[in-house]
């Protein structure tokens, strides 16, 4: 256990203990249940701030590592850690849960005890998935998130809640099961390689990252992981579960789903799929990039066509998270940092949009844009704060959304010159994709301002809109925190980027190194690049260790593959590497 390693298990334990405690209280004490939920989640948030005491922003690797043997027979460990990529996502999670419970404390009036317990279990699952650096622990946390969200939609949702909750489960489970199959494959095959070199079978992410699987295996495994993560993003055309889930979920469920849970798709690509399967990522990257750009434009157009304000914001998430997907595929530090920053901004802005919709729905019990109009005069404080949230989501300069989108697009435009030499076509025509994606920024401003105008401006011609009360104290406190965060991230992005940059740079550099592992010891030469099929046709047996430059080996030369019969090309080797640039064990 490294310095501060106790902190991350403590963060996971607090919500679980809170859920157990609240379930032990009398069922009729709704106010007590809400108070316990807010108190436990606030305690978790302030505990998470202690991470800064132990976190060194100059270090790129995992920090605050806790490692305890969990399932010896499987080689699974309860291993947690945090770096610059996951740091602010953890803080976003611990912030959004208490804000959600505070801002929606009057929105749920039945089975309150069970609702609070579900929220706290959901928080523990989300935190576990962000800090896990063991594949088995990550998968368990991934599945733990599914159960409470399913219950929140199915029990406390709208009229079509059963349809929405079942659709949510089916989509998520299909992706999860295929990912589990890929995890088993990696466990068996990589474990065999590690055993031959003095190791053991394990689900430790850091150890599995030292194994290079065959090309075709990487393609299939990356596809399995990518399906699970693309559903969670959600990436077009796997997004159809999201509008139904958002529309039928209670306000708290929508806030957490958009504010935190959708981030696991992008995070999964960054933490697991791309580092473990770099050649698989290269094979799938063009398709993912094109789908991301389609989603940006498609989501914006469909959002503009909605009369249900909740569905409008749901489709806006499809558009906004397409920018994040494009940013990580740019494979430049600015693009990856922009994607992470855009995720953080999206958590605050879209969470604020859903909270605002909840404020309106609680007073008017409708989400139809046609039922509103002219309510600025009735709710001036809410209108002013909500305007900042809308502008932040639209990417107005000096607000959080602008920084993430600018970095993502700038990184995309500059991506072509920085791809690994072995993957020169990783992202096809990045400047064209970036130009098309830029239209999503314009379209986003159009549909968001259209929505704001329909709700707050125009004639006050609906009698029921003439007596709407402004924000209550708990709602005001929630929006003030969100608005401060949106403005702060827009004006002062440097502190956030300072913590991200070392880990982001390490991610890009290691992906570059892993992409060159068919040419151990150096980048491929022009002659080697001319034979681009080498990775696919190398005849080394599975588990072959890549020799260091100049090292003599009886099993495989370092510079040339064994001859391959033209009628039966074999799988490439599974190599053991040390992750260092241009070096092997």
**Structure confidence by residue, pLDDT tens digits, 356-388:** 999 999 888 888 988 888 889 889 999 999 999
Alpha carbons 360 and 372: distance in angstroms, whole number: 9
- Phi–psi pair at 204, nearest 5 degrees: -65, 120
Q: Is the pLDDT of residue 539 over 60?
A: no
**What is the percent of the chain where pLDDT is above 70?**
86
pLDDT of residue 531: 38
Non-local (6+) Cβ contacts of 417 within 8 A are none
**Structure confidence by residue, pLDDT tens digits, 461-488:** 887 887 889 899 999 999 999 999 999 9
Confidence at 18, pLDDT banded by 50, 70, 90: very high
Confidence at 49, pLDDT banded by 50, 70, 90: very high
- Please, are residues 345 and 401 in contact by the beta-carbon 8 Å criterion? yes
| Residue 40, Cβ density class (10 Å: 0-12 exposed, 13-18 middle, ≥19 buried) | buried
Confidence at 519, pLDDT banded by 50, 70, 90: very low
Confidence at 422, pLDDT banded by 50, 70, 90: low
> Average pLDDT for residues 44-59, to the nearest whole number?
94
Confidence at 529, pLDDT banded by 50, 70, 90: very low
Q: Is the pLDDT of residue 2 over 80?
A: no
> Average pLDDT for residues 318-342, to the nearest whole number?
92
Confidence at 424, pLDDT banded by 50, 70, 90: low
Q: Among positive and negative, which fits the CA dihedral 502, 497, 231, 180?
A: positive
DSSP 121: H
- Whether omega before 35 lies within 30 degrees of 0, making that bond cis, reads no
pLDDT of residue 537: 43
Confidence at 538, pLDDT banded by 50, 70, 90: very low
Alpha carbons 261 and 362: distance in angstroms, whole number: 24
- Whether omega before 574 lies within 30 degrees of 0, making that bond cis, reads no
> Average pLDDT for residues 327-340, to the nearest whole number?
92
Alpha carbons 570 and 277: distance in angstroms, whole number: 19
Question: Residue 500's closest CA among 389, 326, 339, 273?
Answer: 339
- Phi–psi pair at 113, nearest 5 degrees: -60, -45
Q: Which two tokens stand for residue 363?
A: 């007073």
pLDDT of residue 416: 66
Q: Is the pLDDT of residue 413 over 80?
A: yes
pLDDT of residue 405: 92
Question: Residue 91's closest CA among 143, 36, 52, 137?
Answer: 52
Q: Is the pLDDT of residue 396 over 50?
A: yes
**Structure confidence by residue, pLDDT tens digits, 104-128:** 888 888 899 999 999 999 999 999 9
**β-strands 575-576, 211-212: how paired?**
antiparallel
Tally the C-alpha atoms within 13 A of residue 171's C-alpha that lie toward its C-beta. 22
pLDDT of residue 4: 81
- Please, are residues 54 and 4 in contact by the beta-carbon 8 Å criterion? yes
Q: Is the pLDDT of residue 566 over 60?
A: no
> Average pLDDT for residues 134-143, to the nearest whole number?
93
Alpha carbons 356 and 213: distance in angstroms, whole number: 48
pLDDT of residue 158: 85
C-beta atoms surrounding 494 within 10 Å: 8
pLDDT of residue 222: 94
- Please, are residues 104 and 34 in contact by the beta-carbon 8 Å criterion? no
Q: Which two tokens stand for residue 301?
A: 């157009």
pLDDT of residue 464: 82
pLDDT of residue 578: 45
Q: In the 3-class helix/strand/coil scheme, how is 504-542 assigned residue by residue?
A: HHHHHHHHHHHHCCCCCCCCCCHHHHHCCCHHHHCCCCC
H helices present in 330-429, as ranges: 333-364, 380-394, 400-413
pLDDT of residue 15: 96
Q: What Cα–Cα distance (Å) separates residue 136 from each residue in 179, 268, 386, 540?
A: 11, 14, 41, 30
**Structure confidence by residue, pLDDT tens digits, 428-441:** 788 888 899 999 99
pLDDT of residue 549: 34
Nearest-5° angle of CA 23, CA 24, CA 27?
70
Helix (H) or strand (E) holding 306: none
Packing angle of the helix pair 87-103, 30-49 (nearest 10 deg): 160
Confidence at 574, pLDDT banded by 50, 70, 90: low
Q: Is the pLDDT of residue 543 over 50?
A: no
| Residue 450, Cβ density class (10 Å: 0-12 exposed, 13-18 middle, ≥19 buried) | middle
Confidence at 185, pLDDT banded by 50, 70, 90: very high
> Average pLDDT for residues 168-195, to the nearest whole number?
90
Q: Among positive and negative, which fits the CA dihedral 173, 179, 183, 185?
A: positive
> Average pLDDT for residues 483-501, to the nearest whole number?
95
pLDDT of residue 423: 60
Confidence at 282, pLDDT banded by 50, 70, 90: confident
> Average pLDDT for residues 502-522, to the nearest whole number?
74
Q: Is the pLDDT of residue 70 over 70?
A: yes
Q: Which two tokens stand for residue 424?
A: 């020169």
Alpha carbons 327 and 288: distance in angstroms, whole number: 11
> Average pLDDT for residues 251-260, to the nearest whole number?
92
Please list the helix, strand and coil fractions of the chain in percent, rounded to the nearest 5, in that order: 65, 5, 30
Q: Is the pLDDT of residue 570 over 90?
A: no
C-beta atoms surrounding 255 within 10 Å: 29
Q: Is the pLDDT of residue 85 over 90?
A: yes
* Whole-prediction pTM: 0.86
The 3-state DSSP class for residue 566 equals: coil
Beta bridge partners of 67: 79
Question: Residue 333's closest CA among 84, 521, 584?
Answer: 84
pLDDT of residue 74: 87
pLDDT of residue 517: 61
- Phi–psi pair at 132, nearest 5 degrees: -70, 135
> Average pLDDT for residues 152-176, to the nearest whole number?
90
Beta bridge partners of 80: 66, 132
């Amino acid at each position: 256990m490294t310095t501060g390693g106790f902190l991350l298990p403590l963060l996971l334990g607090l919500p679980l203990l809170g859920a157990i405690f609240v379930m032990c209280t009398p069922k009729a004490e709704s106010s007590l249940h809400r108070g316990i939920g807010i108190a436990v989640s606030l305690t978790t948030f302030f505990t998470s701030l202690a991470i800064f005491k132990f976190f060194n922003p100059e270090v790129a690797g995992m920090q605050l590592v806790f490692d305890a043997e969990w399932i010896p027979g499987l080689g699974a460990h309860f291993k947690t850690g945090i770096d610059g990529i996951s740091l602010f996502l953890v803080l976003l999670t611990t912030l959004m849960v208490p804000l959600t419970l505070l801002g929606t404390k009057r929105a749920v009036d039945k089975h309150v005890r069970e609702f609070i317990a579900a929220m706290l279990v959901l928080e523990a699952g989300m935190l576990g998935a962000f800090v896990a650096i063991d594949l088995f622990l990550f998968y368990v946390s991934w599945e733990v998130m599914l159960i409470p969200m399913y219950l929140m939609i199915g029990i406390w949702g709208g009229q079509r809640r059963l349809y929405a909750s079942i659709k949510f489960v089916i989509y998520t489970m299909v992706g999860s099961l295929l990912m589990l199959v890929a995890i088993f494959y990696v466990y068996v095959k990589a474990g065999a390689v590690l055993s031959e070199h003095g190791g053991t079978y394990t689900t430790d992410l850091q150890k599995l990252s030292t194994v290079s699987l065959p090309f075709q295996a990487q393609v299939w495994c990356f596809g399995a992981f990518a399906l699970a993560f693309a559903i969670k993003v959600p990436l077009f055309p796997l997004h159809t579960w999201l509008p139904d889930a958002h529309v039928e979920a209670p306000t708290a469920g929508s806030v957490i789903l958009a504010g935190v849970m959708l981030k696991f798709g992008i995070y999964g690509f960054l933490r697991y799929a791309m580092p473990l399967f770099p050649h698989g990522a290269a094979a799938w990257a063009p398709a993912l990039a094109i789908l991301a750009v389609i989603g940006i434009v498609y989501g914006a157009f469909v959002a503009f066509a909605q009369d249900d304000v909740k569905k409008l914001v749901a489709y806006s998430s499809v558009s906004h998270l397409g920018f994040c997907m494009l940013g990580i595929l740019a494979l430049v530090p600015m693009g990856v940092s922009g994607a992470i920053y855009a995720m953080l901004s999206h958590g605050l802005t879209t969470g604020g949009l859903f909270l605002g919709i909840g404020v309106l729905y609680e007073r008017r019990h409708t989400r139809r844009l046609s039922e509103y109009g002219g309510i600025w005069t009735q709710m001036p404080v809410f209108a002013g704060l909500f305007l900042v949230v809308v502008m932040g989501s639209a990417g107005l300069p000096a607000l959080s959304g602008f920084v993430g989108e600018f970095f993502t697009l700038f990184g995309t435009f500059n991506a072509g010159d920085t791809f690994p030499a072995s993957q020169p076509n990783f992202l096809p025509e990045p400047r064209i994709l970036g130009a098309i994606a830029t239209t999503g920024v314009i379209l986003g401003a159009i549909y968001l301002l259209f929505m704001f105008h329909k709700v707050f401006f125009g004639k006050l011609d609906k009698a029921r809109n003439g007596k709407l009360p402004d924000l209550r104290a708990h709602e005001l406190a929630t929006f003030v925190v969100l608005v401060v965060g949106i403005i702060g991230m827009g004006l002062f992005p440097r502190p956030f980027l300072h913590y991200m940059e070392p880990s982001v740079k390490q991610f890009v550099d290691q992906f570059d190194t892993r992409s060159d592992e068919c040419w151990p010891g150096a980048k491929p030469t022009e002659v080697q690049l001319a034979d681009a099929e080498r990775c696919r046709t190398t005849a080394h047996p599975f588990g072959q260790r890549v020799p260091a430059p100049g090292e003599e080996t009886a099993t495989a030369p370092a510079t040339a593959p064994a001859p391959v019969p033209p009628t039966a090309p074999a799988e490439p080797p599974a190599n053991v590497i040390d992750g260092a640039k241009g070096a092997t064990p």
